[in-house]
Structure 1
Amino acid sequence: MIRVRIRSWRVMGFLKFQRFYSSMFILSAACFSVQASAQAVSVVSSDDTVAGSSVSGDASSATPDAPAPQRGFLTRLGHAYLDDWTSSSSTAPAAPAPERRGTPAPLNSPPFPSADWPIGGTVVIGAPDYNTYPLMTAINGAKSRIKTYGWFDIGYNASTSNQGKFANAPAAYDVIPNSIQLDQAALYFERLPDTVQKDHFDWGFRLTSLYGLDYRYTTAYGVFSQQLLKNNNTYGYDPVMYYLDFYLPHIGQGTDIRVGRYISLPDIEAQLAPNNYTYSHSLLYTVDCYTQHGVNVTTKLSDHWTVQGGVSGGCEAAPWTKYAKLTGNACAGYTWHTGGDNLYFCANSLNSAKYSYNNISAYYLTYYHKFNATWHTDTEAWYQYERDVPNLCYGLNPCISYGANANVGANAGEITGPSLITGANGAQCNPLATHCYAPDFAAVNYIEHEWNNHHTSLTIRNEFVNDLKGQRTGTATLYSEHMVGMNYWIGSTVTFRPELRLDHSYDKPAFDAPTNGAPTKTTQLTFAGDLIWHF
């Protein structure tokens, strides 16, 4: 569900962000300092010879080597970045690849978001934990399975839309035109289960804290949602993921049970900045399900088949709220050509789809194909809908097109309709109907190419979205979006993603809406980009 009311970036918001994440960063270091100290203690062998000493003649002539000077935390952190940025020119042999079970990883990461085709609601069963992080290297030499890491993501854009503070909508996440924004400051605590082995039970967890402009695209009703739905803060905090993973190795080729709040299962894209090819998101991804609270079971049946099933409280509705709906999901993925092709079908939200807070019913089909070592493509199509949606045009003849501002006005109480839920979108239907069926369908394709020794990639994205009743975007129209972008990596810790994007609405204006006014443009051109600094 798109949320588009936005204020300009204020100094006070940035100061709050600084205080919040400075304290979280210090706490992270403190949590691991004891472990790091314990690992630094010298070990004496059982024959009483000091490790690293040189012995010549009798024992009295032994002269131990001088102890290596201890580097401070900030020095270790700085060296972690320098080693990452200069490792490609090192003459030292490359470290052996981690052990992996199943088909080979189809992609290189970097420059792509992950080495495996995306699958939600689970770890990739059979894949190792490939990642090391500068913060963990500085804390304890990256020797523990419990990790803390994150990033800062700052974005900018120049747009032909400029009449409103959210005038780029329904584009996301670069929704404030002609500005620089703190999109995300993210902090992770996690432990990944070891799914390469098939001998014993293992477990994992993740807690993800997100602060920034992008909280409005992850907020779930009942989880600090007053920041957006009541106060409409420009910047906000969201614990976007908190879950436990339980790995059962003897069910199929391995089974993962995830319990908690997780990113919804399908999609090429995800909310967290490094999980995407591009800075801005496709229209398709902007208007579908973001997160769910529930239980999801994923079983790898073979190197070809993976199946998933689960229950949740629905999209963006915490189970303890009145808008939660018992919702099922059923998904299956088939992989062939030694991992180079993957077809993934997912019925992500199975319930009555009766109007509630973002209670969409959605069906997805995604296809991934690797052409060769440097080219691949991703394609996704879906159909989704809500039933009995309040009609924002009831009693108006002809129906007034509120455009991208319609749902903003509805959320603020400026546009009313029968049974309209605060924060949930209405539809634009026949003026004689109080409620109506509100479907939409979409398709998006990515073409990806990498070069420069896995440090640079090209992205070409094309999509069409038909929002038949305007329930997802605010304008009942057909959209197209075309984008070309680039990813450039410095090592594996700094990412720069510039892009040029053209959006068009075919049936009526959908862009550049002034406050409390209808959109004025059918075409929008944006030049945008972001810088992600990983720690």
Structure 2
Amino acid sequence: MKKLLLAGVSLTAIGLINAANAADTLPPMKAGSACDPYKNYSCLDSYLGSDFFTRFVNYYRLEWGHEAAPSDPKAPPSRREYWPATPQTTPPMPFTEWPYGGTTSLGVTRPSSIDSPLMAALGNTAFGQSLNDNHIQIYGWINAGGNLSNNTVRGGNSPAAYDYNPNTVQLDQAVVYFERLPDTVQKDHVDWGFRVAPIFGENYRYTTAYGLFSSQLLNQNNNNGFDIPMAYGEVFIPQLAEGLMIRFGRYISIPDIEAQLAPNNYMYTHSMTYTFDNYTNTGIEGTLAANKNWMFQLGVTVGTEAMPWHVGQSIANPFPNPLFPNSTMLKDPGATPSVTGGVRWTSDSGNDDINIVANGINGGQWGYNNLQWYGLTYYHKFNDQWHISFETYNEHQNGVLNANNPAALAAFAAGGTPFSPQYMPFNSPFLAQCSTTTEFSCTASVQTALMYLNYKPEPLDNISYRLEWFDDEQGQRTGVKTQYIETGIGWQHWFSPQIEIRPEVSFYKSLNANAFNGNSNLGIAPNKSTALIGSADIIIHF
């Protein structure tokens, strides 16, 4: 059945490619289609039609084969004229500005600026007009994919991601954004915004924060699940320097080349560098544009993948031990006041960008995902076709229980830690494989280096080559104490700004021990040191 499903995905992709080649010969659906909004924007509404379904379908037809939506000549400037140049375009890249996170992009964001078939379809309704009047947009995407792998055990592709289960087809994520973008181009008034972004699918296992719908993963190990990785408000104060953005709520951690949301990535799968670092913070983040080149970020959160209601919350400790010596212990020691700080520099040309960040900094005690993250990202654009993205970081946690110490293992099995199987039967944080058996706990660290080399041969195509090294020094992130090397190549092809496919092939090698084709939840030890995975997905935006 899985092979039939994979064949179906392949045939669907072939059909879409054929449709793309034939798009110019399709007859118009309505009389209004005789106009071309790319040549005469004023006829857009007549082209789309009057009823919701017709407008929805016709908007996909309108953009098919184009790299952008038709341009409104009356639209205000989309960026400050003296701002660094926009380095990329979407399509075919997953972003226009070099990613820096923690804020809506400063100096380059206008309200109601997302190109959305759903919003176009709603445009002539009372509900749609009310949304437009208030600069609120509703949009999203459906993302599904599949893979073929030399692994066979359920979950055996891990620590590769986001294709946890080998040889399967899956719903990766269905996402809806409810959003108001603040106007960060203007400098004459305070503006505001918000985003609520629920997600459903297999990818929830990577976004889950302890205490927010987390029983799906930690108590049931559901294959598909629900999460809200972003739920925040923003206030933009343009009168301070070149603008101050204050974000509050749950938001994506800073910085990273990649992100949880499918369209924000070069390739279908994610690097290990991204898979095992900080994902989301909950708290307050301030981003100040000191001038057009320099930005500074400072935030206060409750840790990483941690919820405010876990701060100070205790549970019974049935087995006091050197790491948790009292009759009670914190439910999540990582849910604690934490600090994030960062600095970003961008060249006038926009060709170079560097971010240096310390994220989720606190005492570093062993928590659900209490990662002390220190790193940087760097981007360089060679020309309109070639650019490179680079990321490196060191992250650590202190006082992680030692898997090589019998007394520590006994305490873990008896419920003497917040992450023992009595509390988290599935997907709990791994223990550390410390250097000696005498240590009850130790510091667990990771060092990484990641590079993407990207080539745009055509406006609707991007080819990405990924190369990374990942050193899980105590095995606390992946469950295996080893270094990894990984390399892969992927093709990002857009049929229009609304539909894209991303086939790829990646090879993983664990250098010091077997790390693949196992599943800790099932008690199956890894028995392979390599993983060869071919995969592909499709993203349909709406």
**Band the TM-score falls in, shorter-chain normalisation:** 0.7 to 0.9
> Structure 2: where are the runs of 5+ without partners?
6-45, 314-331
Partners of 1:390 and 1:436 within 8 A in 2:
yes
What is the CA distance between 1:109 and its match in structure 2?
1.1
Q: Secondary structure at the match of 2:258?
A: coil
| Counterpart residue number, 1:390 | 401
| 1:234 lines up with 2:223 in the alignment | yes
Residue of structure 1 aligned with 2:109, choices 108, 121, 128: 128
Cα offset for 1:419? 2.3
Q: Deviations over 1:164-205 (max 9, x none)?
A: 210000011011000000010001100000000000000000
Query: Mean alpha-carbon deviation: is it higher for 507-516 or for 371-380?
Result: 507-516
Which residue is equivalent to 2:139?
Answer: 149
* Structure 1 stretch displaced more, 282-291 or 317-326: 317-326
Uncovered stretches (5+) of structure 1, i.e. residues with no partner: 1-7, 12-66, 401-409
CA distance 1:528–1:207, shift in 2 (3 Å): same
Match of 1:485 in 2: 490
1:268-289 per-position Cα deviation (integer Å, ceiling 9, x unaligned): 0000000100110000110001
1:110 aligns with 2:91: yes
Q: Given the alignment, which residue of 495, 500, 504 partners 1:495?
A: 500
Residue in structure 2 matched with residue 82 of structure 1 by the alignment: 61
Match of 2:456 among 426, 447, 450: 450
Aligned equivalent of 1:425:
430
Aligned to 2:339: 328
Q: Read off the aligned partner of 1:311 and give its amino acid letter.
A: V
CA distance in 2, matches of 1:88, 1:470: 44
Deviations, residues 391-436 of structure 1 (Å, cap 9, x unaligned):
122129xx99xxxxxxxxx9xx996785251322211122222111
Q: CA separation in 1, counterparts of 2:142 and 2:68?
A: 27
Q: Structure 2 vs 1, CA of residues 518 and 121 (structure 1 numbering), >3 Å: closer, same or farther?
A: same
Task: Choose 1 or 2 for highest CA Rg.
Answer: 1
TM-aligned CA deviation for residue 136 of structure 1: 0.3
Mean alpha-carbon deviation: is it higher for 378-387 or for 318-327? 318-327
Q: Give the corresponding residue for 1:507.
A: 512
Specify the SS of the correspondent of 1:221.
coil
RMSD: 2.5
* CA distance in structure 1 between the partners assigned to 2:359 and 2:417 by the alignment: 26
How many Å separate the matches in 1 of 2:443 and 2:414?
18
1:23-42 CA-to-partner distances (Å, cap 9, x unmatched) read: xxxxxxxxxxxxxxxxxxxx
**SS of aligned partner of 1:320:** helix
Residue aligned with 2:217, SS: helix
- Give deviations 1:189-232, integer Å, cap 9, x for gaps: 00000000000000000000100000111111111111111111
Q: Tell me what 1:525 maps to.
A: 532
In the alignment, does 2:217 pair up with 1:217? no
Summarize the Cα distance change of 1:71–1:307 in structure 2 as closer, same or farther, 3 Å threshold.
Answer: same
2:236, 2:245 within 8 Å by CA — same for their partners in 1?
A: yes
Task: Map 1:311-460 onto structure 2 (within 5 A).
Answer: 311-321=300-310, 322=313, 323=332, 324-395=335-406, 419=417, 421=419, 422=424, 423-429=428-434, 430-452=436-458, 454-460=459-465
Aligned partner of 2:417: which letter? S
- Contact 2:505/2:535 (8 A) holds in 1: yes
Structure 1 residues 314, 506: closer, same or farther in 2, change over 3 A? same
- Determine the structure 2 residue equivalent to 1:257: 246
TM-score (norm 1): 0.81
CA distance in 2, matches of 1:226, 1:69: 44
Letter in 2 for 1:467: D
Name which of structure 1's ranges 259-268 and 139-148 shifts more when overlaid on structure 2: 139-148
CA distance in 1 between counterparts of 2:417 and 2:396 reads 18
Separation in structure 1 between the aligned mates of residue 513 and residue 196 of structure 2, nearest angstrom: 42
Partner of 1:228, secondary structure, is helix
| Percent sequence identity over aligned pairs | 40
**Secondary structure of 2:336 counterpart:** coil
Provide closer, same or farther for how the CA distance between residues 491 and 330 of structure 1 changes in structure 2, counting only shifts above 3 A: same
Q: After TM superposition, give the deviation of residue 96 of structure 1 in Å.
A: 7.7
Aligned to 1:137: 120
TM-score between both structures, scaled by the size of structure 2: 0.80
Question: Could you tell me which residue of structure 1 aligns to residue 13 of structure 2?
Answer: none
Residue in 2 that maps onto 1:534:
541
Please name the residue that 1:161 is paired with.
151
User: Residue 89 and residue 360 in structure 1: after superposition, are their counterparts in 2 closer, same or farther (change >3 A)?
Assistant: closer
Task: Identify if the C-alpha distance between structure 1 residues 201 and 528 changes in structure 2 by more than 3 Å, giving closer, same or farther.
Answer: same
Change (3 A) 1:246 1:93: closer
Distance 1:417 1:462, change over 3 A: farther
Aligned positions of 1:247-326 closer than 5 A:
247-321=236-310, 322=313, 323=332, 324-326=335-337
Report the secondary structure of 2:235's partner residue: strand
Aligned residues: 455
User: Is the 2:63–2:497 contact (alpha carbons within 8 Å) kept by the matching residues of 1?
Assistant: yes
Structure 1 residue 199 corresponds to structure 2 residue 193: no
Amino acid at match of 1:457: N
- Is the 8 Å Cα contact of residues 289 and 315 (structure 1) preserved in structure 2? yes
**Secondary structure of the equivalent of 2:308?**
coil
Return 124-133 or 189-198, whichever deviates more: 124-133
Displacement of 1:506: 0.4
Whether contact under 8 Å (1:418, 1:434) holds in the other structure is no
